[in-house]
Structure 1
């Protein structure tokens, strides 16, 4: 169990960095470096520049975080029927 609760904030990806990391601009204007959460890696959820994301941060280091959710945007997967099943 963690001593402190994680801080959850919304932001937008503005840069893609190596090793599954992203530059994220938060709603309050701060810029942080965030990495992809394990569940997003497991389900192969891809993120690109301009995606709205939810980031969890620890109160001990407010310059780093973890991308835990990517908002579904227009033109993204989910109900479009892009795969053909036979």
Structure 2
């Protein structure tokens, strides 16, 4: 059976080495996020910076880490 995952939205607060980020979820939890493979392969087009809003997939077994699966568009930027 496939593992159940929760999808949350959050804000990137800090960029860490090796594609890791500190993410503050909308429910105020602070977790460690890493970039998913699809975003990593398209690194030249998708830039994730502090201040960006993202969708993050969190395992029910380890709620302190998650996989960034989507960068949401900012309303004030043109990208």
TM exceeding 0.5: yes
Partner residue in 2 for 1:10 = 9
Deviations 1:7-37 (A, max 9, x none): 1000000000000000000000100000000
How far residue 60 of structure 1 moved from its aligned partner, in angstroms, is 0.3
TM-score by length of 1: 0.83
In structure 2, relative to structure 1, the CA distance for the partners of 1:6 and 1:50 (3 Å cut) is same
Partner residue in 2 for 1:67 = 68
| Higher radius of gyration, 1 or 2 | 1
Moved >6 Å (runs of 4+): none
How far residue 76 of structure 1 moved from its aligned partner, in angstroms, is 3.7
Partner residue in 2 for 1:55 = 56
Structure 1: runs of 5+ lacking an equivalent: 78-86
Identify the structure with the greater strand proportion.
2
How far residue 40 of structure 1 moved from its aligned partner, in angstroms, is 0.5
How many aligned positions are there? Answer: 76
Aligned partners of 1:72, 1:43: CA distance in 2, in Å?
16
How far residue 43 of structure 1 moved from its aligned partner, in angstroms, is 1.5
